[in-house]
C-alpha cells in the first residue's frame, strides 16, 4: 500500500469517527438541555444533520474499500473466472459512471451555492461549506472504485470483492468464548 493510500485511509477513518462523535455529543447535549433544563440549542439539529450527511458520504467510500456493501452474487458465482472478472469490470464501470456524474453535479451545486452566498438556516456558515462534502465524498468514492477496478483488472480479485481469488484470505473466523455452552456448527469428532 502506497503512502497516498495510507493517508487517505487514515483521513477517511478519522473523519468518520469525528463526525460520529460530534453527532453523539450534540444529540446527548440536546437531550440533557431539553429534559433537565427545559431549553435547547437552536442549531444542534441542523449541525447533527450535516454531520450525518458527511458521515454517510465518507462512509460510502469506506464501505467500498472494506467491501462492506451489500451485493448479490448468486448468479455471478456460477460463471467461470474470466466471466466473473468481466462482470466485475462492468459493474465497476457502471459505478464509476454514477460517481463521476454525481461528482460533476455536486460540484456545480457547491459552486452555485458559493456564488449565491446562502447561509445555512440555523448555522452562521455558508451553505457551500456544509455541502462541499458532496463533491469530496463522490471524488473519494470514485477513487475507491478505481482502486477496486484496478484490482479486478490485475487479477487480484474476480468481482466486487465478494468472490476473491483466494477466499481463505477473506474468511472470518467465528470462535466462541471458552466455557460457552452454545453448540458450534461443526460436528464434533468422536473416537471409536
pLDDT on residue 61: 92
**100 within some domain:** yes
pLDDT on residue 160: 64
**17 within some domain:** yes
**85 within some domain:** yes
**49 within some domain:** yes
> Apex CA 85: angle with CA 82 and CA 87, to 5°?
110
Q: Which of 63-72, 82-91, 134-143: highest mean pLDDT?
A: 134-143
Q: Which of 26-30, 70-74, 143-147 has the lowest mean pLDDT?
A: 70-74
What are the helix (H) ranges across the chain?
A: 3-37, 44-66, 81-116, 127-131, 133-153
Output 89-92 pairs: Cβ under 8 A, ≥24 positions apart.
Answer: 89/149, 89/152, 89/153, 91/159, 91/160, 92/145, 92/148, 92/149, 92/152, 92/160
**170 within some domain:** no
With a cut of 50, say whether residue 48 has pLDDT above it. yes
Pairwise pLDDT comparison (171 vs 140), residue with the higher score? 140
pLDDT on residue 145: 92
Q: Name beta bridge partners: 126.
A: 119
Residue whose entry in the numeric block shows the C-alpha cell 478505481: 146
Pairwise pLDDT comparison (67 vs 104), residue with the higher score? 104
**Average confidence score pLDDT of the chain:** 82
Q: Name beta bridge partners: 54.
A: none
Phi, psi of 129 (to 5 degrees): -65, -35
Residue-number span of the structural domain to which 117 is assigned:
11-164
Q: How many CA atoms lie within 13 A of 15 on its CB side?
A: 22
pLDDT on residue 83: 83
pLDDT on residue 170: 40
Domains held by the chain: number? 1
**75 within some domain:** yes
**81 within some domain:** yes
- Segment 26-47 shows an average pLDDT of 92
- For the record, the C-alpha cell of 126 comes out as 455558508
- For the record, the C-alpha cell of 19 comes out as 463526525
pTM of the full predicted structure? 0.75
Quick one: DSSP state of residue 188?
A: P
**184 within some domain:** no
> What residues contact 142, with CB distance under 8 A and at least 6 apart?
96, 99, 100, 103
Q: Name beta bridge partners: 164.
A: 157
Amino acid at each position: 500500500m502506497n503512502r497516498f493510500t495510507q493517508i487517505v485511509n487514515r483521513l477517511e477513518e478519522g473523519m468518520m469517527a469525528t463526525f460520529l462523535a460530534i453527532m453523539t455529543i450534540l444529540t446527548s447535549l440536546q437531550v440533557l438541555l431539553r429534559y433537565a433544563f427545559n431549553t435547547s440549542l437552536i442549531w444542534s439539529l441542523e449541525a447533527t444533520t450535516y454531520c450525518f450527511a458527511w458521515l454517510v458520504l465518507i462512509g460510502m467510500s469506506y464501505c467500498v474499500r472494506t467491501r462492506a456493501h451489500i451485493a448479490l452474487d448468486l448468479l455471478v458465482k456460477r460463471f467461470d473466472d474470466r466471466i466473473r472478472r468481466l462482470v466485475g469490470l462492468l459493474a465497476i464501470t457502471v459505478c464509476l459512471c454514477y460517481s463521476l456524474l454525481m461528482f460533476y453535479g455536486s460540484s456545480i451545486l457547491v459552486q452555485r451555492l458559493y456564488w449565491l452566498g446562502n447561509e445555512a438556516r440555523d448555522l452562521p456558515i455558508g451553505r457551500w461549506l456544509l455541502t462541499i462534502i458532496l463533491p469530496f465524498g463522490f471524488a473519494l468514492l470514485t477513487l475507491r472504485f478505481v482502486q477496486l477496478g484496478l484490482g479486478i483488472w490485475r487479477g487480484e480479485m474476480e468481482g466486487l470483492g465478494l468472490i476473491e481469488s483466494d477466499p481463505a484470505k477473506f474468511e472470518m473466523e467465528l470462535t466462541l468464548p471458552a466455557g460457552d455452552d452454545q453448540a458450534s456448527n461443526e460436528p464434533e469428532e468422536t473416537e471409536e
